[in-house]
Copies of this chain bind each other. A is one copy, B any other.
Amino acid sequence: VRYSPLLLVAVGVVAFFWLLAALIGRWEALFARTGLNPLLRGLALQLARAALVLVGLLIALDLLGATAIVTAVLGTAGLAGLAVGFAFRDIVENYLAGVLLSLRQPFAIGDLLQLGEVEGRVVRLTSREMVLMTLDGNHARIPNSTVFSSVMINYTRNPRRRFTFEVGVGTDEDLRAAQRLGAAALRALPGVLADPEPQLRIRDLGDSSVILVCSGWVDQREADFFKVRSEAIKLIKETFDEAGVSMPEPKSTVVLERAPSS
């Protein structure tokens, strides 16, 4: 009986904070000013509401003199949260990584990505994993936290992509002429951009040939990258064949000795 007035006050306090929590959602001005995007703003709102109700409950309990319980419950809750946090770490990390990835959008659905050893087109992003369709038509699922902490190479983002391949020409050939000839041929190939222009650079003096690196740029929106590369290899081969530029097989010198007994 003695507790009655206090009990009333306590109930009032809880009711007041509950109301406050309900009202806070309307206070748009406050949130709008923080510059957060809507998704995160919603999250912050939820947290603020939960905190307000919690504070209300704590004050009420304190008024009723249940201080020790309050302390104990809170302490345990904190520690339990710690323990649970460790156990759920992987799941939480994946979820957080998923939220952040969806906020930033460093890729679009359909982009061709390279993530570690997996290469494929983005199918979708769930709260736990990213689903890629490999070029062979298989589903690859990569945990979001792995995606988040990996180096991601996006082959689609930049419309222009360079292809390269090597050709070994004979050591007797006129290199300057071969370079000019090859670059001219590539420049004429449909799908290869004029700027940056195709190039043939010397990379190495091989054992029996000089290694040239041919490169050219493709606008992926207008031409199929792999097809243009295939055509370019064919073209360079045909051009060099026609012009009589040799592309020799490996060569070695052998000193013959008869076996002593023969």
Contact = CB atoms under 8 A, between A and B. Distances in A.
A141 to B, nearest CB: 5
A87 B85 CA distance: 7
Given A86-B89, A165-B205, A141 B106 contact: yes
A79 to B, nearest CB: 3
A191 to B, nearest CB: 14
Given A140-B153, A141-B154, A151-B140, A81 B81 contact: no
Contact of A138 (B153, B230, B233): B153
Interface residues of A, number: 110
Contact of A74 (B59, B72, B210): B72
A68 B69 contact: no
Interface in A172-193: 175-176
Contact of A83 (B82, B146, B210, B234): B82
A136 interface: yes
Given A81-B80, A91-B100, A93-B87, A202 B234 contact: yes
Contacts of A83: 78, 81-82, 84-85
